[in-house]
Amino acid sequence: MFQTFEVTARPEQGPPRLAALRDAMKAGGLDGFLVPRADAHQGEYVAAHDERLAWLTGFTGSAGFCAVLHDIAGVFIDGRYRTQVKAQVAEEFTPVPWPDVSLGDWLTEQLPQGGVVGFDPWLHSAGQIETLEKTLKGTGVDLRACDNPVDQIWQDQPAPPVQPAKVHPLEFAGESHADKRQRMARELCDDGQNAALITLPDSLCWLLNIRGADIPRNPIAQGFAVLHDTGAVDLFMAAGKLHEVADHLGAEVTQHDPQALVPFLDGLKGSVRVDKGTVPVVLSRLLGDRAAYAGDPCALPKARKNSAEIEGAAAAHLRDGAAIVEMLAWLDAQPAGALRETQVVGKLEGFRRNDNALQDISFETIAGTGPNGAIMHYRVTEETDSLLEEGQLIVLDSGGQYLDGTTDITRTIAIGLPPREAAEAFTRVLQGMIAMSRLRWPEGLAGRDIEAIGRMPLWLAGQDFDHGLGHGVGAYLSVHEGPQRLSRISHVPLEAGMILSNEPGYYREGAFGIRLENLIVVQEAPALPGGDAHRKMLHWRTLTFAPIDRRLIVTGMLTAVERDWLNAYHAEVAEKIAPRLSPGAKTWLDAATAPI
């Protein structure tokens, strides 16, 4: 528990590694090579064995890739990481704003005479390569699947993870894996498919009601599975992981060595459902005409939490909220300039450890003060560990992995008297959070249809932020879980049972950052008094309970409705969390949740 297995590179390590990669590329007849932050399962997080991007470049963000050519190495990063990448990579690497600049257009510009660009076919999905090939058609730039030259030069590359899997109890899962398998099998039959290839470990773990420890902070076991239209499953996972779950899996789940996957798929008959967005291109090409491209059959059922999962999450958030309040009360008692970011991180993780149901934190705690707070996914290091000084803000984004649920909460806290401009921006962020929390909307809308509501107070002031308003969250699974999102690019309709984050923010580079985050779950909205039944409506139930720093609120900017919401929320925080606190923290909470 609470171990880290990180692969990083100091900026000065990047240039010699880049030179060695270029030598390997020349030996392989390549003019370029693509280095994604990905593994064969195409999940968001990767094990140390697969941290090729971080090892090569030093960039540790959760999304991005590097395109290495002989005279330029572009590090492609989205808006969340455009500040972070500057501090992490050497000048030999060129940050490229993505997706503003597409990889295909960049390669065409950098290789005007054409050339051969290699890629590892296990580390790119069929959809990614298909899109890139279309963009490059007729340009003279050719893509070539090849062995990975990074693995050739990475002499101390960690071994692939082989952590034991464990049974996820029925009381928390809410449905047996036999029932899940039969439910998914009926969908395959209805769609005329004989089998489905499942590549995402969180889908596999959800389907079989198991959890693992192959990825830090994410309770997943890596492997592949083939679900048949009978409900039987062929599981491709190292036998060493399965000793504790063999009886649980039963006779209808057959274990195979991972190396057996390719010959098994080669001999598999009939139509095989695969998700073009996650299936490694090597496997989609192997299946050929047998591949039936459709979504991961587990994705939506996993996203629609059942009552056991929702109530488990609610219970986990109450205990997690108590840990947050204990930390906030402690933090408030420390004078400005007395603490560093790492001390805040350690204290919070210590309070969370008091809960025996805690298995791990759900991601590396973000504790960014002053300018560090403007780095959206900041991670404190020995070099960046900063004092919490008078007049600054600290963005504290953290979460826990509990047996009954996954939490993710962000609070921004004032250290002493905050600057007026920061307090005004904080109030707009709070107004966006409240607007989304209060929303009722017609069934059938997706995240893209409602996300702007959480941005509107900032937009009215000419401000914005470069991340989505919210992401899906798993049930003791990945803290970032699709396919649902509160994002302008999300087309997935929101459905009852989906848990998402609600986290507007504002970031001023070199000065401060602001983010507020609660987790919320979609529910059917009750009828309004005197209302008609013209449309079926949905609304949110808030799961996260912890106070919002009243010192950062410019109360005159709030409407009466917003004040009422905040006061009602704080009253509920006090009611639900106070009985779980130490006497000192309870006294602090009473003051922190007083009405405004």
Reported as a single tens digit per residue, the pLDDT across 387-413 is: 999 999 999 999 999 999 999 999 999
And the tokens for 595?
Answer: 């009405």
pLDDT per position as a tens digit, 267-321: 999 999 999 999 999 999 999 999 999 999 999 999 999 999 999 999 999 999 9
List the one residue out of 408, 429, 432 whose CA is nearest residue 513.
429
Decide which of 3.40.47.10, 3.30.70.1450, 3.40.350.10, 3.40.30.10 is the CATH code for 11-153: 3.40.350.10
Res. 424: pLDDT tops 90: yes
Distance of alpha carbon 435 from alpha carbon 547, whole angstroms:
17
Under a CB-based contact definition with an 8 Å cutoff, are residues 326 and 351 in contact? yes
Percent of the chain with pLDDT over 70: 98
- Tell how far CA 150 is from the center of its chain: 25
Determine the topology of domain 304-584 in CATH.
Creatine Amidinohydrolase (3.90.230)
Cα separation, 195 vs 184, in Å, equals 10
The ranges assigned to domains in the chain are 11-153, 166-298, 304-584
Among 89-103, 130-144, 364-378, 434-448, the range scoring the smallest mean pLDDT is 89-103
Q: State the Cα–Cα distance between residues 454 and 445, nearest whole angstrom.
A: 15
As to burial, measured by CB atoms within 10 angstroms (0-12 exposed, 13-18 middle, 19+ buried), residue 172 is buried
Q: Phi first, then psi: what are they for 293, rounded to 5°?
A: -80, 120
Mean pLDDT of 516-535: 87
Instruction: Report the alpha-carbon distance of residue 199 to residue 462 in Å, rounded.
Output: 42
Q: pTM to 2 decimals?
A: 0.93
Please list, in sequence order, all residues whose beta carbon lies within 8 angstroms of the beta carbon of residue 242, skipping any fewer than 6 positions away.
164, 165, 235, 249, 255
CA pair distance 458, 505, nearest whole angstrom: 9
pLDDT band at 87 (very low <50, low <70, confident <90, very high): confident
Give the amino acid at 163: Q
What per-residue confidence (pLDDT) applies to 60?
Answer: 85
- Dist CA 23 CA 580 (whole Å): 60
Please say whether the beta carbons of 213 and 476 come within 8 A: no
Helix axes 583-592, 560-577, angle to 10 degrees: 170
Query: Can you give the pLDDT at residue 7?
Result: 63
261 pLDDT above the threshold of 80: yes
Quick one: how far is CA 521 from the chain centroid?
A: 17
**In the β-sheet with 233-236, what is the strand arrangement from edge to edge?**
253-256, 233-236, 224-228, 195-198, 272-274, 291-293
Q: What is the pLDDT of residue 529?
A: 81
Q: How far is CA 110 from CA 15, 25, 144, 251, 543, in A?
A: 20, 17, 17, 55, 49
Q: Determine the Cα–Cα distance for residues 540 and 168; give it in Å rounded to an integer.
A: 27
| 204-243 pLDDT, tens digit each | 999 999 999 999 899 999 999 999 999 999 999 999 999 9
Cβ neighbors of 200 (< 8 A, separation 6 or more) are 41, 42, 43, 275, 278, 296, 298, 299
CA 5, 8, 13, 15 dihedral sign is positive
In this prediction, residue 441 has a pLDDT band, given cuts at 50, 70 and 90, of very high
Using a 10 angstrom Cβ sphere, with 0-12 exposed, 13-18 middle and 19 or more buried, the burial of residue 353 is: middle
Q: What is the mean pLDDT of residues 438-464?
A: 98
Instruction: Please report the pLDDT score of residue 80 as a whole number.
Output: 80
pLDDT at 151 over 90: yes
CA 249 – CA 493 distance, rounded (Å): 33
d(CA 289, CA 271): 8
Is the distance from CB of 394 to CB of 417 less than 8 angstroms?
no
Model confidence band, residue 1 (pLDDT cutoffs 50, 70, 90) = very low
- Give yes or no for a contact between 455 and 503, defined as CB atoms under 8 angstroms apart: no
10 pLDDT band, cuts 50/70/90, is confident
What CATH architecture does domain 166-298 belong to? Answer: 3-Layer(aba) Sandwich (3.40)
**11-153 and 166-298 in the same fold:** yes
Within 8 A by CB and 6+ apart from 353, the residues are 2
Average pLDDT, the chain: 95
Comparing 91 with 573, the larger pLDDT belongs to 573
Q: For the segment 349-390, what is each residue's pLDDT rounded down to a tens digit? A: 999 999 988 999 999 999 999 999 999 989 888 889 999 999
- Asked if 230 contacts 185 with a C-beta cutoff of 8 angstroms, the reply is yes
The predicted pLDDT at position 62 comes to 78
Q: Which residues of 383-422 are buried (b: 16+ CB within 10 A; e: fewer)?
A: eeebbbeeebbbbbbbbbbbbbbbbbbbbbbbbeebeeeb
Take residue 222 and report the two structure tokens written for it. 């890596």
Burial class (CB in 10 A: 0-12, 13-18, 19+), 540: buried
H helical segments located in 41-125: 52-57, 84-88, 103-110
